Every structure is written in C-alpha cells, then in structure tokens.
Amino acid sequence: MKKIVRKQQSAVHHWGRIGALRIHSFSVVSLFLLGFSCPLAWAQQLAISATTLHTVSSSGRIQDGVVLIENGKITQIGSAADITVPDGYERLTSDTITPGFIDAHSVVGLAGWYNVLADQDQDETTAPNHAELRAIDGFNPSEPLLAYLLQHGVTVIQAGPGRSNPIGGQAGIFKTHGSTVEAMTIRFPSAMIFTLGEVPKRTYGERKQTPMTRMGTAALIRQALLGAQSYAKQWQDYVSSADEASAQEASANDTSEDKDHKAPDRDLKKEALAAVVRGELPALFTVHREDDILTALRIAKEFNLTLLLDATTEGYLVVPEIQQAGVPVIVHPSMQRISSLETSNTSLENAAILADAGIRIALQSGFESYVPKTRIVLFEAAIAMVNGLGFERALRAITLDAAQILGIDARVGSLEAGKDADLVLFDGDPFEYTSHIQTVILNGQVVYQRPLASP
C-alpha cells in the first residue's frame, strides 16, 4: 500500500515538472504532454505481449512472447504458450518489443537544449584538469532533452563533463526519467572523462595556455596520473600503517595515546584520479584520430588504467592495436557531423569493422555543439546496421553490449527475469525509419505513450 501511494506522488510530481517548462502549444514537449494525457499505466503488475520480443539474451528472439513485470522488475519472460498471466495484471500488447536503449556517452542533462551559458554545465573550461568535477552536481533531471531521449526509447545514459578539458571530470550513469539525480542514478562515478585531440588544445591554445599541442595534452594527463599514483600510495601507506598499528593495539590491548598516524591531506582532484590509477574507476578517453587512439592506449598501458575508448573515429585504421589492448569501444554516432579535421575520416562502417574484429562496441550520442543538440542512439544504430553491422549486433550495441561495457548488465540491457523493466514497444521493425515507438516503460512504469492525434 505504501508503495502505491509513493508512485502516485511521483506521477503528480512529474506533471508539475512538465507544467513548469512554460512551453507553447504544439511544441515537442507538449507532444510529450499529449502522451501523458493518455491513460498511463501505473500498475504494479504488467503483462505485455508482443508478436516479436527481442530479448537480447540467450532466449534470443521470441515470437508471440509475454513479459511479466512486477514492482519495476521483469519477473518472467517467454512464449505466450508457456506463461500464464496471473489475475490482476494490467495488459498491454505490442508488435515488437526491445530492451530500453543505452546511450553509452552523452552530455545531455548537463547540456541543455537552449545552448546558452545558462543551461550549459558540461564544460568547466577554466583549467585543463578538472578531475574533481562530478556530473551529479550539474545534472538537471528536468532538462527537456532527457524527455526527448526517453520518447525515442533511451532509458539509460552515461552523462558526464564535456570534451574541452584533457581531464574533464566524473561521469555517471542515469535513468532518463526521475525527479532527482539521486533517484535516477544507476552508478556514480562511472568513469573519468579524458579528451585528446583538437578540442582541448583549441580551448587552451587560443589563450596561449597549456595544452596547445597534442604533446601538451598527453604530458598534462601523465603528470596528473603520476601525481595521483603517489597520492594513492601515501594513502595506502597510511591505511596499512594504521591497520598495522590497530593490529598491534589489539594484540597489546594498548589503549595509550599513541595514535599518531596522521592522514594525508585530502585533495579532490588527486582523490578522484587515485581511483583511476588503482583501476577502480574506468578511464574514458574520447579520441578521433588514429594517433590519438594510440596515445590513449599508450597512457592506459603506462598507468595500467581500465580503459574505455570513446568516439574512436579512425578506429578502423588501428584495429589490430585496439584488438591487442582488449579494450571496448564506445563508437561515435554513425551520423556525427564532420565538422573538424579529426572527424574528417568518419566512416559509417566503423562500428561494423570494429565489431567484425571481435571488439565489443557500444554507441553514443556524444556531444553536439549546435542543432540538433543531441543525437538518438536508435537512429545511429540503424545507420550502423545497414552499413555492415547487421540487425542483431546493432541492437546489442545499444542494449546488452553497452550495459556490459558500462558494467551495469546485472540491472539493464536485456529482457530477463530480475532485470529492470525498461522496455520499448514498437509498431514494427525498431530500426525502420517509419516505425513508431508506441510506449516506453521505465522501471515498470509507462513513461511515454505515443499521442494518438494526427497532424
């Protein structure tokens, strides 16, 4: 009973939030509103049947399948013939169902759709090392672009600081629906954001500050990681000496005042990077050019980092090196705008070439500096699909493979019993341009329904 009350409250809260957006009739967001004016399922228990269920699990593609959902989780999934829907379940039907989509690297939530200083909180371009910055301190749950992503089936994003700094700060993984960042967080921090190539050196080079070359960027990052290593060691020494002392205390039962194991001063930058050099926090390197990709591999090897390659536009030119390093790649949007030298060689086949080599890939919406202000991984995956990736791998790249790369596959990424009930209901082939998303379900709640009104 308690739970039901809470759900109703969250519904009310959501209405209020949308009302506060101050939008005109007929806008994108009012379409979203229209969606909400349809009866929404706030049921605790849902049974959804579909002609085609893409489970993205060992169950593969189930024809005439059913998913049972209770308290936000999938409880059962299988063929309609094998599942008896218990009494009291609200029922939905659909042509095609996929897991909710995962955008493995975005800035939405930190970057708003107005693209004015007031709503841009992704780039703290005041110093090249901002490892201490936390995405959760700038993530706006009410950002309309989050609602827009949700309408296009994106239920999870990894969002973090932008690309202007060599060391940008800490990203988090969030659901795209919720009233507070705490309620939306799946994991924080999820990765430290590093950027090589044109953008950081342009940001600082124009001011005649370091870094103004690729050498400068690499040196700056190495210097910071070196500092983090010695910081980590200081703390490790302190902790082990403290442990030793307390062990001695315990054995000697000595309660004397000799507790002089002074903790080193905390340093937020070094503290955050210490987790990176200890290999606990993945280092996400956004890179485009082949030599930048290799620089990321070189630094990762030197400091034994848990590396996630990101964007990796010229990845198709250094396949053996990426393969050998055994790192996954969060591939740039297929249709990323070719607006710089380092993106000149963008290939629609990059994802397919990397995947052909056995490299695990996800897709990202990346960063957009102008119109449109974000990209949609569903659309990007469709283009990768028809350029060699194929249906199954394209779908995995924005569901299970993304979840595995981000380390959240225990919760999301496939339709399996025990996982979060994040589902997208389509009226046809999910990747076909002219198919529609009918319903989006996040944590077992219907959070979007396609408006019935025609133009």
DSSP of 97-151: EEEPEEEEEE-BTTB-TT-SGGGB-S--TT-SB-TT-BGGGT--TT-HHHHHHHH
DSSP of 345-405: T--TTHHHHHHHTT--EEE--B--SSSSS---HHHHHHHHIIIII-HHHHHHHTTHHHHHH
| Cβ at position 61, least distance to other proteins in Å | 18
Question: In this complex, which beta carbon is closest to other proteins, that of residue 290 or of residue 409?
Answer: 290
Q: Which two tokens stand for residue 78?
A: 């299988």
Contact residues: other proteins, CB under 8 A? 23-28, 31, 112-116, 144-145, 148, 314, 316-317, 319, 335, 337-341, 344-349, 352-353, 356, 368-376, 379, 382-383, 385-388, 431-436, 454-455
Question: In this complex, which beta carbon is closest to other proteins, that of residue 34 or of residue 242?
Answer: 34
| Cβ at position 153, least distance to other proteins in Å | 13
Question: In this complex, which beta carbon is closest to other proteins, that of residue 112 or of residue 169?
Answer: 112
Question: In this complex, which beta carbon is closest to other proteins, that of residue 85 or of residue 383?
Answer: 383
Q: Which two tokens stand for residue 386?
A: 């028809």
Distance of CA 324 to CAs 287, 319, 331, 359, 407, Å?
18, 9, 18, 10, 21
| Cβ at position 110, least distance to other proteins in Å | 14
Distance between CA atoms of residues 352 and 354, nearest Å:
5
Judge contact between 99 and 423, C-beta under 8 A.
yes
By DSSP bridging, strand 185-195 and strand 283-287 are parallel
Judge contact between 35 and 451, C-beta under 8 A.
yes
Distance between CA atoms of residues 412 and 430, nearest Å:
18
Identify the residue whose tokens are 């905390």: 266
Burial class (CB in 10 A: 0-12, 13-18, 19+), 82: exposed
Question: In this complex, which beta carbon is closest to other proteins, that of residue 145 or of residue 408?
Answer: 145
Question: In this complex, which beta carbon is closest to other proteins, that of residue 75 or of residue 347?
Answer: 347
Question: In this complex, which beta carbon is closest to other proteins, that of residue 88 or of residue 320?
Answer: 320
Question: Can the peptide bond before residue 320 be classed as cis, meaning omega within 30 degrees of 0?
Answer: no
| Cβ at position 88, least distance to other proteins in Å | 36
Helix (H) or strand (E) holding 184: helix 181-184
Judge contact between 427 and 436, C-beta under 8 A.
yes
Question: In this complex, which beta carbon is closest to other proteins, that of residue 256 or of residue 454?
Answer: 454
| Cβ at position 373, least distance to other proteins in Å | 3
